Amino acid sequence: MPKLTRSFINTVTPTNRVAFIWDASLTGFGLKVTTAGNKTFVYQYRTTSGRTRRLKIGGYPAVTPESARQIVTNYAALVSQGGDPAEERSKARTAERLKDFAARYIAEHAEVRKKPSSVREDRRLLDKIILPAMGTRKLIEISRKDIQALHKNLSDTPYQANRVLALLKTMFNLAELWDIRPAHTNPCHGIDLYREARRQRYLSIKEVTRLGQALNDLEKEKAISRFCAEIIRMLLLTGTRKKEIMNLRWEEVDFDRLRLNLRDSKTGPKTIHLTATAAKRLDNLPRIEGNAYVFVGQKEGQPLVDIKKPWRKLLERAELQDLRIHDLRHSYAAFGASGGYSLPVIGALLGHAQPQTTARYAHLADDPIRAANKDISNQIEGALHGKE
């Protein structure tokens, strides 16, 4: 048997019947020659069940002997492990496209296991970024190179790029679990996340005073509603997340024990402790008949859903244009760390699920440590000089 090289294949002429010429060095690698002279590379093998199968690799010279040989080598490795290349190819032809799999992911995974806000974010990333880029591609054909290209295209927004990568990684893990892709073929593995510069903005005592004065003035002028003003005060007084306060229901407020018993939050059911002053502020709010929410919106029976405009007015009046609403939560934690409270205590107050989330405030604990060092050193210094 000859070796299937370019020089040999060019000498092959057609006969009055279809002929197969098998390669001398690679078992199953062959060349099919029709009576019209068309030449096609093939791979013939036997499955574990004993069935003989033949696969078309591609026509010569469009497919070179070198590339055809490499394809057959890969197929032969699959067969040696008990695989069936023809079956895999059949699956690939009928495999669902990413856009179809995305719909299944939302319906069967996200909506079952995730919070509504997380589902909305998944939909946004899919609709705005992922599906326009590769929605029509077959799931089984998407490679690491494809994912890397998408991730690189989002490098100007590293946070969003990393969220896209995390979502795709989850989806491809499910594709393996649901037998749509072979095991250990997740194309997201090995792609490094971009460094995300964490923004750390904490209010000083003077800035809190300015913010409070501006809040009082705007409320008196009726430039912002009482409900909006109290939401902002409660965010600063409790360190809660915006949605946790805005969606607060009266049934979750325990005035006797001075706490909020949230039925749900980003990290699940959660207890938020209140000071007597904070509880009194809540107790002084009007109850609206037929509305279960503490902070009432314009729609009947619904909570207040948006405070962006009042927030912008407040920042302009207080001259704090660089402040975000979430920075109120950071400021609450920062005051705790600077006051000498331990990171586990601060994490418990904020409802952090992971200790590393609280670790961002560790450097602020230096203030009480420096103060303690000063007190101790002063005492020792006094003793060294004969002073009690």
Between CA 46 and CA 48 the distance in angstroms is 7
Tokens of 284: 């002084």
- More confident call, 91 vs 245: 245
- The mean pLDDT of 282-298, rounded to a whole number, is 89
270-273: strand order across its sheet: 253-254, 259-262, 270-273
Its sign, for the CA torsion 149, 152, 158, 162, is positive
Q: Check residues 180 and 200 and name the one with the higher pLDDT.
A: 180
Q: What is the mean pLDDT of residues 284-296?
A: 89
Domain boundaries, the chain: 6-92, 98-177, 210-369
Question: Per-residue pLDDT averaged across 213-233, rounded?
Answer: 90
Residue 108: alpha-carbon gap to chain centroid:
18
* Cα–Cα distance for residue pair 9/65, rounded to 1 Å: 9
Fold of 6-92: Double Stranded RNA Binding Domain (3.30.160)
On whether the pTM is more than 0.85, the answer is no
The reported pLDDT for the residue numbered 376 is 46
Strand partners, 19: 33
Residue 306, judged by CB atoms within 10 A of its CB (0-12, 13-18, 19+), counts as exposed
- Tell me which DSSP letter residue 111 carries: H
User: Which fold would CATH assign to domain 210-369?
Assistant: hpI Integrase; Chain A (1.10.443)
The whole-number average pLDDT for the span 350-361 is 56
For residues 163 and 118, what is the distance between their CA atoms, to the nearest angstrom?
11
Sheet with 52-60, strands from edge to edge, namely 19-22, 29-33, 39-46, 52-60
Share of the chain above pLDDT 90, in %: 41
pLDDT of residue 359: 55
Contact 181, 175 (CB under 8 A): yes
| Yes or no: domain 98-177 corresponds to CATH 1.10.150 | yes
Mean pLDDT value across residues 274-297: 88
Q: Which segment of 151-160, 162-171, 189-198, 349-358 scores lowest on mean pLDDT?
A: 349-358
Q: Average per-residue pLDDT in the chain?
A: 84
- pLDDT, tens digit, for every residue of 21-49? 999 999 999 999 999 999 999 999 999 88
